[in-house]
Amino acid sequence: MSGRSTAVTTPTSSGPTTTQPAPPARSPLRVVLLAVIGVGLLLLGGGLAVALGIGRDSSAAPTPTSDSVDAGFSRDMARHHQQGVEMANLVATHSQDPDVRRLAFDISSTQTNQIGRMQGWLDLWGLPPSNGTTMAWLGGDMGGMTGMSGQGMGPESLMPGMATQAELDHLRSLSGKPFDVEFLRLMIRHHQGGLPMAQYAAKHAAEPAVRRLAETMAETQTAETTTMSAMLTARGGTPLPAP
């Protein structure tokens, strides 16, 4: 079909028939564009409704409280991730190993994105970034990590797997292969420490989005730990004791 207008002959009441142009036919492309615009407007309206709470199911879970698993996980994992990003960002200026640099870039970009999501949730829920304790949300289930009873720690306490200030200072003093080895050692332990936190939140968080993110973290960090362990061995290093 060409889409051209065709003439239509119609009779008149007072004289001979006249020829009038027919309205132009809609091209297939125009029809598709109109359909896409319509769907886009529908999705936009749905998104605004969700953002404003319009049409929300009355049986939906209430907003997480400050002492909930959702809030505790978002706070603590965001801080845990921040140190991981800090270590990963050192690689660009301390390492020449392309595999280590690629790994560090992936860790930094992924965890920076996840930090933003978790901090965004806290802001959406109207909760502060800290409530004065760390890891109290885990209850008594800490996956066997030493010294963790679920009673919580101080807000500045190092969570399992996190490097001490002395360890970070030592890492910054290195370059080349010695840096690569120490970076892998610290990051493996860092991932091992965060894994039980992600696994607990994946099972016990109330918000589906929080559970999904925690599941993703657990899967990703398990795979990265396996990769880093092989990289460490290939570079002649040995792992640190697990947290």
Which domain does 201 fall in, by range? 69-129+156-234
Assess if residue 217 is contained within a domain: yes
Contact at 8 Å (CB) between 242 and 192?
Answer: yes
Identify the three-state secondary structure at position 140. Answer: coil
139 is a domain residue? no
- Distance CA(84)–CA(90), nearest Å, equals 10
Q: Is residue 166 part of a domain?
A: yes
- Copy the structure tokens of residue 124: 């959406």
Number of domains in the chain: 1
> How far apart are alpha carbons 196 and 204 in whole angstroms?
12
- Establish if 209 belongs to a structural domain: yes
Residue 194's pLDDT is what?
97
Q: What is the chain's pLDDT, residue by residue, as a tens digit (243 residues)? A: 444 444 444 444 444 444 444 444 444 444 334 444 444 443 443 333 333 333 334 446 699 999 999 999 999 999 999 999 999 999 999 999 999 999 999 999 999 999 999 999 999 999 999 888 899 999 765 544 444 444 456 556 799 999 999 999 999 999 999 999 999 999 999 999 999 999 999 999 999 999 999 999 999 999 999 999 999 999 999 999 999
Residue 105, domain member (yes or no): yes
Asked if residue 137 is part of any domain, the answer here is: no
> Domain for residue 243, yes or no?
no
pLDDT at 131: 85
**CATH number for 201:** 1.20.1260.10
CA-CA distance, 94 to 180, in Å (whole number)? Answer: 8
Q: Is 4 left (phi over 0), alpha (psi -120 to 50) or beta?
A: beta
- Helix (H) / strand (E) element for 182: namely helix 176-204
Residue 183 lies in a domain: yes
- What's the pTM value of the predicted model, to 2 decimals? 0.73
